[in-house]
Amino acid sequence: MTNIDNTPIKNTTSANNILPQFVDQLRHLYGIIVQNTYVKDTAKHLNRIIQDANNQTMILIVGKERVGKTTLVNGLLGREILSVDDQHPTSVNTFIRYGEQEEIKAYFLDGVVAVFDLSKLELLTTGDTFASQILREHLDYLEVYLKNDLLKSVTIIDSVSLEAGGGEMAYFSEALMNRVDEIFWVLRAGSMAMDAELLLIETLKNKGVEPLCVINGIDDEEHATAFMDSEQQRIGHLMSDFIGISAINALVAKQTDSHELWQKSQYDQLIAHIHRVAENSDKKTYAILIRFLQWLERFRFELTVIPQRDPFQSAVENIEKYAGDTQYEYSRYQRDLAIVKEYEQEYEQVANTFKQVQTLYQLLQTIAQHDYLHDSKVEEFTEIAVHYQQMLREYRNMHSEYLREYERLDAQHKKIHGKGLMKAFFGQHTQNEFFKERVQKLNEQQEVCVAQYAKVQQAEVSMLQAIRDTQPFLIDLVKVRMSRIEQKVQKLNQQRAKDKRQLKRYAEKLNEFSCLIEAQGYIKEHLQPFLMNEQMPLKSKDIAMLEETVQAILAIDLSNNGLLARSQMNNKMESIAIPFEVREKYPLQMLDLREEDVKSNDIPEIPKKLVVQYED
């Protein structure tokens, strides 16, 4: 992805250090204009610039349906985190960031932020249930936090598929493209970029943006090399470079630790490119500066429009619509109900964690299946229990081996002597030495069984003590999990109540257009001098654009508006808390395994030692 005007930026010491200072200036400006709700979207865009300047490098994965964008990301992560479904492709932009706590933050269009477990990712992105469809209708975007070293330096965005039809240009969020530091344009080997894609890529080219063309599927396309050469000739002038990869091979290589498959996937080239993008701080600084200049032009337009309309009446109309539109409120309430329903189902599952646990084996299986039961103390118990089971298996194997040898020798003895081995005395026979030797070996096996049985008894004592100590602790872990689910619902209801309080204050902010006058002064006194510094990595045309935009902003007279009257609008928005009465409905299923539940009651007895005498 090239610079804005396709011209290299000179590396300077000031350029490397200027971004944190610039962000401080933008934060102050944001703190001023955010007080005015009429420029809410503009303030949101400014805040996004601030966030992007502070965040890691962002890489956007773009392409039409079924080219393997999501699989590509999974290959980079080395895990099948994102759901891949040909029938239900990714339907919400998903920001994948680094996080010590692996979880999902769902950002809804009305500002609500809900936290979900990682297991709910399929529900939020590709699920086809009624609840998932309701959730996605109100979703803005997702943030998925993963503990992955690659994400310490970059944020990867798995985007929705391009929308296109006929010969028209493919549609994709321009705002999102403007936010990112690099674009990976994904094609599948054997499937050329369609005309609608090319129109969009040409538009990017005109803005100085050249994506990296990533051709996926080189593993299953016989003519992948020829296809790549053909596409380079056809659209190479629109792309910064071409890389051929196999997302499937990369993912399987990570899962199986196969160096050969990883080499075939050619992901090393892709990751090397990602690191180069992440390390290019000068390019990011310049891109943020240009985005701010573009934001200034948007802000100028917002200020120009305000004096030409009746802000007070418009604000009142918007408030009435927000507070009085029962359809909107009903839809929003249904969305919240769907969230709570998911929490209720999760609560039920957690409450019934130990419902079917009646044996030690079932307990170990349950612990393995639930992440919230993973703990150092539980792992210590698991090791003791598994050791007990292993000692028991080894004893049973030894005992079975002894019985097989005994029965085989006993049959031979009956054939020769007419009686079994347990008879005390037999006459002379040429085979007696053979039987004496075999009986001795059986007795040696019997001694091994005795020793192993002692190990079983010892392991059983340790296991019984461990399970007595661990059961209350496991119950406490489940209670903590249930409590956290209740806290999530409480947080959602708190957000509903907060929305009502904010709406009550909305009217009081109608007279806050004076903050925009303060913003004009701040731009003139602080931001313009800061950006006009000769050490700033701006070109002459950028500086000319800055001067022109600032002068236009200062020329807008907002002082005649004064402080607008406070609205006396009644707040009609309901803030009734959504009930979450689950404690009685889904009582905690206790874990109370007794000694007879966990001990093996079919341990075979220790075989007796053979004492067989023969005449000399």
Across 483-494, b (16+ Cβ under 10 Å) vs e yields ebbeebbeebbe
Is the pLDDT score of 319 beyond 70?
A: no
Token pair of 495, please?
Answer: 């957000």
For residues 258 and 255, give the distance between their C-alpha atoms in angstroms, rounded to a whole number: 8
Q: pTM for this structure?
A: 0.53
For residues 466 and 458, give the distance between their C-alpha atoms in angstroms, rounded to a whole number: 13
Token pair of 600, please?
Answer: 């093996």
User: Greater confidence, 91 or 489?
Assistant: 489
Is the pLDDT score of 186 beyond 60?
A: yes
Across 569-600, b (16+ Cβ under 10 Å) vs e yields bebebeeeeeebebeeebebbebebeeeebee
The mean-pLDDT minimum among 235-249, 327-341, 466-480, 501-515 falls in 501-515
Angle between helices 247-256 and 69-77 (to 10 degrees): 30
pLDDT band for 568, please (50, 70, 90 cuts): very low
pLDDT tens-place string over residues 264-310: 999 999 999 988 888 877 778 888 888 899 899 999 998 887 777 66
**What is residue 40's predicted lDDT score, i.e. its pLDDT?**
85
User: Greater confidence, 507 or 577?
Assistant: 577
Is the pLDDT score of 563 beyond 50?
A: no
Token pair of 62, please?
Answer: 């773009």
Token pair of 375, please?
Answer: 């703990």
Is the pLDDT score of 257 beyond 60?
A: yes
| DSSP tag of 156 | E
For residues 293 and 543, give the distance between their C-alpha atoms in angstroms, rounded to a whole number: 9
To 5 degrees, how large is the angle CA 184–CA 93–CA 63?
35
Q: What percent of the chain has pLDDT over 70?
A: 82
CB-based contacts of 280, cutoff 8 Å, min separation 6: 181
Q: For the residues of 556-609, what is the DSSP string, one character each?
A: ---GGG-SPPPP--------PPPP---TTTS--------HHHHS-S-PPPPPPP
Q: For the residues of 279-336, what is the DSSP string, one character each?
A: H-HHHHHHHHHHHHHHHHHHHHHHHHHGGGS-HHHHHHHHHHHHHH-HHHHHHHHHHH
Query: Across-strand partners of 105?
Result: 115, 143
For residues 597 and 233, give the distance between their C-alpha atoms in angstroms, rounded to a whole number: 71
Q: What percent of the chain has pLDDT over 90?
A: 39
**What is residue 7's predicted lDDT score, i.e. its pLDDT?**
38
For residues 22 and 328, give the distance between their C-alpha atoms in angstroms, rounded to a whole number: 40
CB-based contacts of 526, cutoff 8 Å, min separation 6: 25, 28
**What is residue 85's predicted lDDT score, i.e. its pLDDT?**
67
For residues 557 and 517, give the distance between their C-alpha atoms in angstroms, rounded to a whole number: 8
| Residues in the chain, overall count | 616
Alpha helices (runs of H) in 119-214, residue ranges in sequence order: 121-125, 130-137, 174-179, 195-206
Q: Is the separation of the CB atoms in 215 and 224 below 8 Å? A: yes
**What is residue 185's predicted lDDT score, i.e. its pLDDT?**
93
**What is residue 170's predicted lDDT score, i.e. its pLDDT?**
64
For residues 229 and 546, give the distance between their C-alpha atoms in angstroms, rounded to a whole number: 43
The mean pLDDT value of the chain amounts to 82
Token pair of 76, please?
Answer: 């980079």
Is the pLDDT score of 153 beyond 60?
A: yes
